[in-house]
């Protein structure tokens, strides 16, 4: 497998073609954004942490029969993935309230949400990724009804699996964001799963081990990502 030219550069990743048309390389940068890019910065070595953490989680989910785009990790910052057509939808699961749901609905941070809340947002930077529902997805033709059903089924299972996975590492999975893509008529879990896309709280103390340390200038950001990686690699 040979690395070819760059085809896309996003806020946190760069994508390269390979000599294999169905496979691409996802390179993880240290660049970090929050609040729809209103806040920008660098978390030193974040690309390495997130690549390794994501690879480990995709491997775990793969063994639990969740189809993912992940093929294998190639280097510290690169993973080989299937070239999917990313759906313009972000899928958010909330087990406890934090972030935007507290602001939007006036819920206390840390309030348990039973059953977990499922949200969809429309991936559109210029609109600040607005919250949408299944009726918007249908009317805007962002995904078929059948695809939405598959995504909801996978997402519920992923939440159960990841909650247990992190609980074993003494981390509480507060919320997270998923992206899915189309590949040869199937839906695959795509993008990344990392402290950039999950809120992870230390069990007992509630210490934040995720991007909220960057969002709210809490310090020790690299240490938090390193800590998550160390536990995930155990």
Residues lying near ligand UDP in the complex (CB under 6 A) are found at 90, 92, 98-100, 129, 175-177, 196-199, 211
**Smallest separation, CB 185 to ligand UDP (Å):** 27
Our CB check for ligand UDP shows the closer of 22 and 35 to be 35
CB within 8 Å of 104: residues ≥ 6 apart: 131
Angstrom distance (rounded) from CA 206 to CA 201: 5
Our CB check for ligand UDP shows the closer of 82 and 211 to be 211
Angstrom distance (rounded) from CA 207 to CA 190: 28
**Smallest separation, CB 21 to ligand UDP (Å):** 29
Which has the closest alpha carbon to 191: 47, 61, 40, 13?
13
**Smallest separation, CB 177 to ligand UDP (Å):** 3
**Smallest separation, CB 48 to ligand UDP (Å):** 19
Strands (E), 35-111: 39-42, 70-73, 78-82, 85-86, 89-96
Our CB check for ligand UDP shows the closer of 34 and 48 to be 34
Residue number of the CB closest to ligand UDP reads: 99
């Amino acid at each position: 497998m040979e690395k070819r030219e760059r085809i896309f550069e996003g806020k946190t990743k760069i994508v390269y073609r390979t000599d294999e048309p169905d496979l691409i390389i996802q390179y993880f940068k240290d660049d970090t954004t929050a609040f729809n890019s209103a806040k920008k910065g660098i978390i030193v070595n974040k690309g390495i942490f997130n690549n390794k953490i994501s690879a480990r989680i995709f491997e775990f989910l793969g063994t639990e029969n969740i189809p993912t785009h992940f093929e294998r990790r190639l280097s510290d910052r690169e993973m080989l993935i299937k070239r999917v057509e990313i759906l313009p939808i972000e899928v958010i699961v909330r087990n406890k309230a934090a972030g935007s749901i507290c602001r939007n609905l006036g819920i206390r941070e840390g309030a348990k949400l039973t059953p977990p809340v499922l949200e969809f947002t429309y991936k559109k930077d210029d609109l600040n990724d607005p919250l949408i529902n299944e009726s918007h997805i249908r009317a805007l033709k962002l995904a078929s009804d059948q695809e939405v059903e598959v995504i909801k089924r996978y997402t519920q299972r992923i939440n159960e699996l990841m909650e247990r996975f992190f609980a074993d590492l003494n981390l509480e999975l507060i919320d997270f964001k998923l992206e899915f893509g189309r590949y040869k008529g199937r839906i695959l879990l795509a993008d990344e799963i990392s402290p950039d896309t999950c809120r992870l709280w230390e069990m007992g103390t509630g210490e934040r081990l995720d991007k909220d340390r960057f969002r709210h200038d809490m310090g020790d950001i690299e240490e938090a990502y390193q800590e998550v990686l160390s536990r995930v690699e155990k």
